[in-house]
Amino acid sequence: MVDQGFEAELQAWAGGDQSAGDRLYASAYEELKQVASRSLRAYGHGDQLHTTLLVNECYLKLSASSAINADTRGHFLALCARAMRQIIVDSARRQLADKRGAGAAWAVTLSHADADGGSAPNQLSPDSIAALDQALTDLDRREPRLARIAECRIFSGMSTDEIARTFGVTERTVQREWQRVKALLLMALSAGSDA
């Protein structure tokens, strides 16, 4: 389903109309709260970021950006997932700076979106959150689409169908690439924990 009004607002915002960004957030607010809630559930509660706070921080981060590069609702949600990732990682880094490695582990489920339900969530400390971010950054340099799929999966809980539509690929491609990226991230995280 194409939301032409939403896409027109995206184009206006990309063209510099800040009020279009305000209208986009107002119209997508409840959906963004669901994305933020899934994102926070994937990471546990960390340093007590709340859903509303994460949505508001996401809005501030994107509205401060000079160029919004999204042309569909799916692309917009993927952009929000990336902003939420950055906010959560920044929060983990602040917690690391405050506690220098001490602190509760955050629950992160790299397999939560698997069709078979996957395995138990991995417990990630703030150090591991930073390692996950570094692994995603490294992956982004080599294979940007894999990094975007991981962001959409981990940080916004987008379904295979939503991701496929966002990136213009088949659901099978998303499933195959998610299996690959999950394996790469798990290897990177386990290599980081062995160090």
52 in helix, strand or coil?
helix
pLDDT at 134 over 80: yes
The tens digit of pLDDT for each residue in 114-129 reads 433 333 344 456 777 7
Q: What angle do CA 32, 33, 34 make, to 5 degrees?
A: 90
State the pLDDT confidence band at 80, using cuts at 50, 70 and 90. Answer: confident
Tell which wins on pLDDT, 98 or 16.
16
Which of 34-38, 39-43, 80-84, 88-92 has maximum average pLDDT?
Answer: 80-84
The tens digit of pLDDT for each residue in 143-185 reads 998 998 988 888 777 889 989 988 899 999 999 999 999 888 8
pLDDT at 128: 72
Count of alpha carbons within 13 Å of 163, Cβ hemisphere only? 26
Which pTM was predicted?
0.70
Which phi-psi region, left, alpha or beta, contains residue 168 (left: φ > 0; alpha: ψ -120 to 50)?
Answer: left
Q: Tell me the pLDDT of the chain averaged across its residues.
A: 76
